[in-house]
Amino acid sequence: MLLAALAAALHKEMLLQWRTRVQLAAVFVFGATALLLFSFAIGPDSAALRQHAAGFLWLALLLSSTLTLAESFQAEMEQRALEGLLLLPASPLALYYGKALSNCAQLVALGAALVPVMVVLYDAGMESVGGVLLIIVLGAAGLSGPGTLYAAMTAQARARQTLLPLLLFPLVVPVLLASVKATSLMILGDPMGQMRSWMLLLVCFDAIYWSLCGILFGRVVED
């Protein structure tokens, strides 16, 4: 029963994402522009650009994620669809994981699209494209898990695009640090074999965030 409700919620979210795909293109332009501006701050030093490429990639993705997460509940709030779903009744757990998976997929697509921009601007070749994509998946999950919960909490606030980053950024610092370090090792090399530890740390934080936020989501939307 729960899996069927989750599949239905995820299908609904993916349809909404497809209908608002122009917004994703605009967010990509924002992220690419952020990467370009960050490269101006470093200057023409290719070694410094390559060294800081991972940090700037995740900073651009973090800033871009607030735009997509803040608007993720806009349709539900405008049409009062969330209240209708809860009256069906639909499982809050299925609604949360459907929304979180959809947000995660959107962030993964955004991060994958920003990687070529980073490679061009920062001369940041990498050992394994698949490894970088795996890091993006884990890091995007760490952002979208609590981000979906906080987006629901701030959906009715007028200043939600300002309030959401204030709540989200302190919580996702460990995920951001682990993602930056793992990506940096993929770009600069991993002579001491630290990659596995950082990846395991990302998996642990993802598990904690997705389990706790799934439990708390029902209280958030019902209160």
Q: Are 108 and 137 in contact (CB under 8 A)?
A: yes
Mean of the per-residue pLDDT values for the chain?
82
Q: What is the pLDDT of residue 5?
A: 64
Identify the domain containing residue 54 by its residue range.
Answer: 2-222
- Residue 44 CB coordination number (10 Å): 8
> Can you tell me the distance from the alpha carbon of 21 to that of 82, in angstroms, rounded to the nearest whole number?
21
Q: What are the pLDDT digits (tens) for 188-203?
A: 887 787 888 999 999 9
pLDDT tops 80 at residue 177: yes
Q: What are the pLDDT digits (tens) for 54-80?
A: 999 999 999 988 888 877 777 666 665
Across 44-55, average pLDDT: 85
> Can you tell me the distance from the alpha carbon of 42 to that of 48, in angstroms, rounded to the nearest whole number?
7
pLDDT tops 80 at residue 213: yes
Work out the angle at residue 23's Cα, subtended by the Cα atoms of residues 17 and 24, and round it to the nearest 5 degrees.
70
Which residue carries 């799934």 as its tokens?
A: 214
Q: What is the four-CA torsion angle of 24, 79, 167, 56, rounded to 10 degrees?
A: 0
Across 26-35, average pLDDT: 90
Q: Count H helices, E strands: the chain?
A: 10, 0
Q: What is the pLDDT of residue 8?
A: 66
Q: Residue 118: which residues within 8 A CB-CB, separation 6 or more?
A: 35, 53, 56, 57, 124
pTM: 0.86
Could you tell me if residue 165 is left (phi over 0), alpha (psi between -120 and 50 degrees) or otherwise beta? alpha
Residue predicted with more confidence, 91 or 6: 91
Domain count, the chain: 1
Q: Residue 102: which residues within 8 A CB-CB, separation 6 or more?
A: 10, 13, 14, 16, 17, 72
Q: What is the pLDDT of residue 163?
A: 82
Q: What are the pLDDT digits (tens) for 78-126?
A: 665 555 555 556 677 778 888 888 889 889 999 999 999 998 888 877 7
